[in-house]
Chain A
Amino acid sequence: MLAFPIPANGWDRGKQAQHLLSRAAFGPSAADRARVEQLSPGGWLDEQLKPGADAELEAKLAAHYPTLSLTVTQALEQYPSIADRAKELGVQDKEEVKAMMASRPYELPRQLVLELTQAKLMRAVKSRRQLEEVLVDFWFNHFNVSAEKGKVRWLLPSYERDAIRPHVLGRFRDLLGATARHPAMLIYLDNWRSRASGLNENYARELLELHTLGVDAGYTQEDVREAARVLSGWSLEGKGSDDWGDFKYRRRAHDTGEKRVFGLVLPAGGQMDDGERLLDWLAQHPKTARHLCFKLAQKFVSDAPPPALVEALAAEYLRTGGDLRAVYAALFGSRAFWSDEAFGAKTKTPLELVVSSVRAVGDLTLVQPQLVKAIEAMGQPLYRATPPTGWAEVAASWVSAGALVSRINFGLKLAKNDMPGVQVPLASLPAGDPELVVDALAMQLLGAPLSPDSRETVLSAARADRDPRVIAGLLIGSPEFQKQ
């Protein structure tokens, strides 16, 4: 099989691997560097675009994080809210109920989010399907839902597992349809309650603005209203104010009049198919293609991606009817991706900083809450981005004085082996000469030598304090390591 074509750019293999693994993976690990070396960058991309199963990791996750496999109904039954449990137990005092629930089998519902977060970090560090993990993170964020809203936390394991993950290497229309029908989205953006006689336009607006066309596409308030009419009746099982259950189309709640959304005309008399036709229409719209491809180019190339790249990707999207794998192939095969301008141009998000540092110098045995908290302290409480826009992609949102201080402190802690669940061996380092230690660690973490200024700073620290852990901490907190 021919390897994926990579445009020639004059970089050596090490630099190619550094760049590729910094973007299409959660940073270079020794194992993935070796894999890229063995397969070539193109061969590695081939493998990532059509990954096989990672049975070892899946078995490990299932053993450590049993809530990952729960259905929506199981999650609701096995992890009742404090209020529901209190009712069941006939106990008034909430603190007492909390105490009773804190031990199995009455774990608190927050266990669901904790395990999901732990599994996310485990996958990000360990999975051989690195590109898939990066894409799950990207598309979850694109179709953001937040554990902070209503019953969403019970639905998160299913949302990521059933609505996002199966489609990230597939077709956008499938991803769009799966999120539109998932209870997590229906609750997060309120559509489950929207009916002909009482519309709620929250989901309809974000569907147009964030999920598909983009805010500058030119649609109007009237289009938002009409889209809400189209989607009226897309609701949930369950009665009254019980906002849970699986997807259910409610015929009597649907507005059967004629609707017109941004050029699409749906004649009167339609039922649930109205909504499917709207999603079809939006998924194939050129504005959607451009919006999605801009976001992908911004994610993988640079904060301000070249317009020509975005246009080329959008053309590929439209040519293939929204085949995401084809768009990724065009992206990773582009000159823009492999350009000097793109190299090291992105600032790591807190998630990327933490995971890339563990992949570079550590071994993750178990994800402990401290690791989750570290990411939170840098400004990214995972699964709890409250606005529908999700986390920002651009550097300006992540780089602040306080966030830098958190990043610096994390690096020092990690390198000192002070982060539970992570071992940083540093055993392979050359002993003695500070110059050798600094240069070896810089290659391990940055894949390149330090700049002369930075090297001098780190060397003088190394001469004062010969502990290689201090050096590793300085490097993880250094400006160079904040970039990818």
Chain B
Amino acid sequence: MTQGSNTRPLSPRRGEGQGEGLTRRELGAAGLSLLFASRTSASSTNRTLVVVFLRGGVDGLAMIPPKDRDYEALRPNLRDEAPLELDRSFGLHPSMSALQLLFTQKRLAVVHAVGQLRPSRSHFDAQDFLESGLAGEKGADGWLNRALQSLPGGGAFTAVAVQNGVPYALQGAQPIVAFPSLRDFRVAPGQAQSFEQLYAAAVDEALKVRGAEAFSGLQAAKGLAALEPKNGAVYPKGQLGRRLQDIARLVHGDVGLKIAATELGGFDTHLGQRQALAPRLKELADGLAAFATDLGERLSDVCLVTVTEFGRTARENGTRGTDHGTASAMLALGGAVKGGRVAGDWPGLAAAQLHEGRDLRVTLDVRAVLAEALSSHLGIPSERALPGVKPSRTLFG
């Protein structure tokens, strides 16, 4: 199939209006597919947004390969033999079979040719720009922390990063808790109170704030680490599986979790991409599938999206890999996400259609999709978190 148009929807819209309580909206003037079905904001009180940062720059073309002659020509040595079927225009990386069922069940959506409107091919800058939420600029705080200002919170676990350190996206004035593992998040009871007092009196502001977060979190976390996965969910070995399981525990524990962040690295596949990428994508797919199974019915309250700093060059490089590019693909799972579709505007991969002659072109601002997740899923205005961008109508209908 040749992709000639810049604005053509990626896949036929199907299954619209099937979900419970979904409100159908019409396609916007920009030709965006509709993926989210919005609910009234009154029901958004138990909602959680999970953002999984895939660091290193995910090759969206390998993850969601287009059925496209141009693509074949650009990747003579890189294409995977037999992509799984998503729809008539796109496939799924063969190592991501765990996601196929979620896609068929319309709980998982894909957004393609999505990226930053002021991109950078530096990991460092591109990650910062994405996490600041300021499009090509860096600021004092991150977009998810600013989103918290609009959320009724107050609980220790309103916002959590299950990873090492506080990611830039969650840094800022609002309290958040970050830890790599619930299991290790405890202090000997005899000393906890003394430490709490020491940190309450800390001169260093960051230590004082993080200390307060730690000690209220320690209270709320009691017992959660022992929760077993539900519905027979089996998480894959590795960091992402453990971290998603901890997020599921916080959801099941009803601790008031609104925003959760975690990350997976290793997507910077300059060399030997076929071997390097498959295990990463498998870890991601198996992790998301286990998370969905574990949450069961609670998945309707939880929306998970993946983001990455940039896509990779459309053309393979000289070392059977890909270099830093521009647009990529994102995954959206759960909540009222209108799944079972590949959304976005496919720009095509013909020579004249490539960004700067080398990358998949960005036709959808990732900030607009994230703004949609804030407004449609969490039911909060997105302007403060992601200024100057209107929510897209990509994920929720």
Chain A residues with a Cβ under 8 A of chain B:
148, 189-190, 193-195, 197-202, 205, 209-210, 215, 221, 224, 347, 377, 379, 386-389, 392, 395-406, 408-409, 412, 451, 453-454, 457-458, 460-461, 465, 470, 473-474, 477-480, 482-483
Contacts and interface: CB of A to CB of B under 8 A. Distances in A.
B201 A457 contact: yes
Contact of A403 (B165, B191, B318): B165
A457 B211 contact: no
A409 B166 CA distance: 19
28 contacts: A198-B319, A202-B268, A202-B270, A209-B122, A379-B165, A388-B123, A400-B161, A400-B164, A401-B217, A403-B164, A403-B179, A404-B211, A406-B184, A408-B195, A409-B184, A454-B198, A457-B197, A458-B198, A460-B194, A470-B190, A473-B191, A474-B191, A474-B194, A474-B195, A478-B195, A479-B202, A479-B211, A480-B203
Contacts of A387: 55-56, 123, 265, 268
Contacts of A465: 190
B52 interface: no
Contact of A474 (B121, B178, B198, B270): B198
B80 interface: no
From DSSP, what is the main secondary structure of chain B's interface residues?
Answer: loop
Contacts of A403: 164-165, 178-179, 210
Contact of B265 (A386, A399, A412, A478): A386
Interface string B110-129: 00000000000111110000
Interface string B215-239: 0011000000000000000000000
Contacts of A398: 165
Interface residues of B, number: 54
Given A400-B165, A403-B165, A482-B207, A201 B123 contact: no
Nearest to B207: A479
B166 to A, nearest CB: 5
Contacts of A461: 191, 194
The 5 closest A-B pairs by CB, nearest first: A198-B318, A402-B179, A479-B202, A400-B178, A379-B164
A205 B122 contact: yes
Contact of B201 (A148, A201, A221, A453): A453
Nearest to B193: A461
Given A397-B165, A408-B187, A202 B323 contact: yes
Contact of B178 (A190, A395, A402, A473): A402
A396 B210 CA distance: 10
Interface string B286-328: 0000000000000000000000000000000111010110000
Contacts, number: 169
A205 to B, nearest CB: 7
B199 interface: yes
Contacts of A474: 191, 194-195, 198
B137 interface: no
Contact of B214 (A205, A404, A412, A478): A404
Contacts of A195: 318
A98 B270 CA distance: 30
B124 A215 contact: yes
B100 interface: no
B123 A405 contact: no
Nearest to B188: A412
Nearest to B161: A400
A198 B121 CA distance: 19
B360 to A, nearest CB: 15
Interface of B: 55-56, 121-125, 161, 164-166, 171, 177-181, 184-188, 190-191, 194-195, 197-199, 201-204, 206-208, 210-211, 213-214, 217-218, 265-266, 268, 270-271, 317-319, 321, 323-324, 356
Given A202-B323, A399-B207, 8 more contacts: A199-B318, A200-B323, A347-B207, A400-B177, A402-B180, A409-B188, A451-B203, A474-B195
A401 B165 contact: no
Contact of A190 (B195, B218, B266, B319): B319
B93 to A, nearest CB: 21
Nearest to A482: B207
Contacts of B121: 205, 221, 224
Given A221-B121, A400-B166, A479 B208 contact: yes
Nearest to B182: A402
Contacts of B194: 457-458, 460-461, 474
B276 to A, nearest CB: 9
A386 B178 CA distance: 20
A150 to B, nearest CB: 8
Nearest to B317: A200
Contacts of B201: 451, 453-454, 457, 479
Contact of B318 (A148, A200, A460, A479): A200
Given A198-B318, A412-B191, A479-B199, A405 B214 contact: yes
Given A193-B318, A387-B123, A401 B214 contact: yes
A462 to B, nearest CB: 10
B119 to A, nearest CB: 11
A395 B319 CA distance: 38
A219 B174 CA distance: 37
Contacts of A148: 266
A144 to B, nearest CB: 12
Given A387-B265, A402-B179, A457-B198, A482 B204 contact: yes
A396 B206 contact: yes
Contacts of A412: 188, 191
Contacts of B206: 347, 395-396, 399
Given A199-B317, A200-B318, A379-B180, A209 B165 contact: no
